[in-house]
Structure 1
């Protein structure tokens, strides 16, 4: 009888877990369809407007400034759409166990500088300042593209939730690990959400003013784990967040 109860309880637990996964999947699919549709609709409207102006407005009255504004909007929506699709592809690789690393020896400090430099224009556009402090050289054997993805996700997160306040990035060699600190002074993460923030489809806030899939930190954590590393979070609501990535360095 005891054995039967144990089997029953196990089945119930598995069923509850499966139902929870299905609910999360359905919620994500609903959210994803909305997230994908929004930039597509915006791009279509901008393109239709541009075509209308080109076809119906004389060259003498044609506004290059307006066309440039439309193209910049299309570019923004394209980037958003591309990130969403990449997130979906990455989650698919992770959940099916097909996330493969192509490791090579490289300098972590140099790579962080390169990624930060790619954000210069976006930081200026969004009204942010960023300070970078990096040790001279931190060598390790990692997948460079995946580590760049981790840094990109953390910087994107800091810009999204940083409340236009200064962002700090540090890269140090400490205790046989290359450590990347990305600190913002924004809205922070409530204590009750901090343990779940690295799970699939979880977000620091539910407000509609912050767009996103809730996959960035999950993907970041899985990439770091695949390198036998760790991701830590220090955050206080209303005081900002610091994400710390630890990656084992070459001996």
Structure 2
């Protein structure tokens, strides 16, 4: 009666969710780059009109922020990956040592989801025969053993996303002539925040106008505050 393997669609969905989460993380990394670097360079612009100081501060903020993002993502994903691998190793041991108990446990999970006891047992038997570890990992842990995130890939993606996001306000404040720097940089920041807000909303299935307004409002608040602080610090020097 049951001809398909119910684990395959579930694992496919889990894999898609993992890729969407990584994409959302990349968008948020770019967003952080925009806001962080824009805050620094506009704060420096408010304090001094020295082009060398502005360039040095902007590049330092870009490099430090990108490395910080990459390191933080590496540590976070490494911890997550270690935990996932430990859980999968434990599941392998249990499948090797107590296969009948694990089969009953898997059947109970599908029975709790609404299948009859007989059908739940048949599904558990088929899934176990097909790929016992994948079946138990998906049902018990919500994991796909083939879709574990690489810490190095996550770190590289976060570093690249922050760098791309931070380059926009840096170039927008360095390239224009001095009188137009603030206006051009703010305009570039608003455009970037609209784009990242729109993309993150679409990926997360959230209302786009609300997400964009929240993103732009929060980012501009951070930038305006740092600009004001830079102005106060510059006036006191």
TM more than 0.5: no
**Higher-strand-fraction structure:** 1
| TM-score (ref. length: structure 1) | 0.33
- Structure 1 or 2, whichever has the larger Rg, is 2
| TM-score (ref. length: structure 2) | 0.34
